[in-house]
Each structure stands twice: as C-alpha cells, then as structure tokens.
Amino acid sequence: MKIQLNIAPIAILVIVGMIVASREVLAQSSADVAVNQTASTTCSAGESVALSGNLHVQVSTAADPNGGTRYEIGMSSSLTGVGQSTQASYSGSGSYGYGFTTLDSPAQVTLELGTPLKSQDSAPDLRLIQSVSLTVDSSGNISASVISSSTDCAQ
C-alpha cells in the first residue's frame, strides 16, 4: 500500500499561522465615558437636548509589521435626553469602529460620531453629533472625553 501525502496544504496552514502570529496583539482595554451635557441644535424644528448616558470605548493595539502601532477602536453609545423646550424624551444608541496605524505614542485622534435621537413624544427626531477626543498609548491605556455635542435635523 502506497500512502501519498500532499505537503502543500500543510505548508500553507503553517505560513498563514506565522502571519497571524506576527500581528501580535499588544494590549486590549476598555473605558466608559459618562455623557452628561446639553447638546445645542442647528435644526430650526429641533431643540437643545440635555443628554445623559454612556459611551463605551474598546481599544486593541497591535504591532504593525511595517512599523508603528495599529489601533482598532470600537465604541458604542447608549443615551437618553430631555428636550429643553418641549420636555420631550429622546433616546439613541449607536456603534462605531475606527482603525489607524501611527508611530506616535500616545496616539491621539478626534472622532465625530453621528447618532439618531428618536423622540418618544411628538417632537421631531434629531441627529446627535458628538466630537470625542481619544488618547491611547501603546499599552492600551485610554483617555477619552466628549468635547462637544450638538443636534441637527434627522436625515
């Protein structure tokens, strides 16, 4: 009996495993940012909304084979609000992802997030726009804050 072994698939698996291992994850971390501020509005039919809730940030860092550090950022928001003119209740949630590679440590980025704010009353739905400043070092330590919040007409 003759046994024939095809080495090509095994070699491919070994090479793929080496490539995956070379993108070693250096750190994974998360942080929660409390959101307690009033978002102004640019919508003529809208209103300022007093927000409360949470922005959850998850970051993983990995060495980039071409140099620098690769940062993968995932964020999710869960917010409620009260209209300052109508006292209407609003709620909104969203998920966001962003990735970048840099030689800088700590890495700094400002992200703009757009989240639908649904009115629970007869007030019109709005879109929340938040600027979030994020600083992450190569060990995954996170510093995040919401710089500004505003609403515009829902699109």
Domain residue spans in the chain? 25-153
12-29 confidence digits (pLDDT tens)? 434 444 444 444 566 788
How many degrees, rounded to 5, is the angle at CA 129 between CA 123 and CA 135? 150
Q: pLDDT confidence of 110, banded at 50, 70, 90?
A: very high
Q: Is 137 exposed, middle or buried (0-12, 13-18, 19+ CB in 10 A)?
A: middle
How many degrees, rounded to 5, is the angle at CA 122 between CA 117 and CA 127? 20
Is the pLDDT confidence value at 35 over 90?
yes
How many degrees, rounded to 5, is the angle at CA 52 between CA 80 and CA 72? 95
